[in-house]
């Protein structure tokens, strides 16, 4: 990438009740072993009725601003990656703007599902190339617990709620910096992960609500196959484009969708499993928030990231969408 961008601040926010697999077993015909062996997930956080997606985002953004030593009024652009907005209209980014006091920023939502945060980072590189003075705040925030059918054990077990945010600006030689990003999508596969009813194509009716058509639906086996394929391909492409090999990668940080997917991606890339970061057991799949939250967690542990480490990030999401990024710590 001709103009790398710097990560100036990081923040994360998770609130609500910790829901374990044993908790789910009280209402679903499953147990901890059934969930753990299929997904690697042991627990997830579910927000209460009074906490909205925008509230989770405000928590993460406030932490990132503090980490960057900035005030809300210093931000020029705010991007929110989410597929679980507070409302269909207005944008949740604008709701957050009002709550957080981003007085001079222009704000928008970006919907690329679990790839959304990487998509936002890619947009930020172009904006900072045009105007290096910009301070950009990016947040991935999801309240997926409101979008899943809690009677469908194949999907509800996978997801949790949470948010994470980065402040990014023009690279000034100080690390960590994002050195390259690659994105992709394939709309022919849009039906693999979808919420079929509830928007302009098919508005809600009592009948489709009764059938649960306003909840997320997935074709699990097909999603698994395509997710592994596109993440492996985009990782190989970004490494080749930068003259790198997998042996030079300190950490692979994949979207935390399912431990089986993480394991397969690592296996096909031929990276040591000990260098594939996973926190899916603690949070489940939190979509656009998963990668930045993982990086925040790694940084906050204090011993996982060293100066000069090379991080390879990769994600896939509904659309299908996918992407990869390289960070030099």
φ, ψ dihedrals at 274, nearest 5°: -70, -15
Torsion over CA: 123, 125, 126, 130 (sign) = positive
Q: 3-class SS at 323?
A: strand
Residues marked as catalytic: 114, 255, 285
Strand partners, 313: 253, 325
Could you give the count of Cα atoms lying within 13 Å of 215 in the half-sphere of its Cβ? 18
The separation between the first and the last C-alpha atoms of the chain, rounded to the nearest angstrom, is 16
Question: What are the E-state strand segments in 14-82?
Answer: 17-20, 43-46, 77-81
Pairing of strands 77-81, 136-143: parallel
């Amino acid at each position: 990438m001709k103009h790398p961008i710097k990560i100036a601040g990081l923040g994360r926010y998770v609130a609500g009740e910790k829901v374990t697999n044993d908790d789910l077993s009280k209402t679903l015909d499953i147990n901890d072993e059934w969930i753990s062996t299929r997904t690697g997930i042991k627990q997830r956080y579910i927000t209460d009725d009074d906490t909205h997606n925008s509230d989770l985002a405000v928590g993460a953004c406030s932490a990132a601003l503090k980490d960057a030593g900035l005030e809300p009024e210093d931000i020029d652009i705010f991007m929110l990656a989410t597929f679980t907005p507070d409302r269909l209209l207005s944008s949740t980014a604008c709701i957050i703007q009002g709550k957080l006091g981003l007085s001079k920023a222009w704000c928008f939502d970006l919907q690329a599902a679990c790839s959304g945060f990487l998509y936002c980072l890619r947009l930020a590189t172009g904006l900072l190339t045009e105007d290096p003075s910009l301070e950009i705040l990016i947040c991935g925030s999801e309240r997926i617990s409101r979008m899943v059918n809690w009677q469908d054990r194949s999907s509800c077990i996978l997801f949790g709620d949470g948010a994470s945010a980065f402040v990014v600006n023009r690279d000034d030689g100080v690390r960590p910096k994002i050195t390259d990003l690659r994105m992709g999508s394939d709309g022919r596969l849009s039906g693999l992960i979808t919420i079929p009813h509830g928007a302009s194509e098919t508005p809600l009716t009592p009948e489709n609500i009764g059938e649960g058509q306003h909840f997320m639906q997935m074709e699990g086996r097909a999603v698994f196959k395509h997710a592994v394929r596109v993440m492996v391909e985009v990782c190989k492409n970004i490494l080749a484009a930068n003259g790198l090999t997998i042996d030079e990668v300190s950490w692979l940080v994949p979207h935390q969708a399912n431990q089986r997917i993480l394991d397969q991606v690592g296996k096909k890339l031929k990276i040591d499993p000990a260098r594939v970061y996973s926190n899916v057991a603690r949070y489940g799949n939190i979509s656009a928030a998963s990668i930045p939250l993982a990086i925040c967690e790694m940084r906050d542990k204090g011993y996982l990231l060293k100066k000069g480490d090379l991080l390879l990030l990769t994600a896939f999401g509904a659309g299908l969408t996918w992407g990869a990024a390289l960070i030099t710590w």
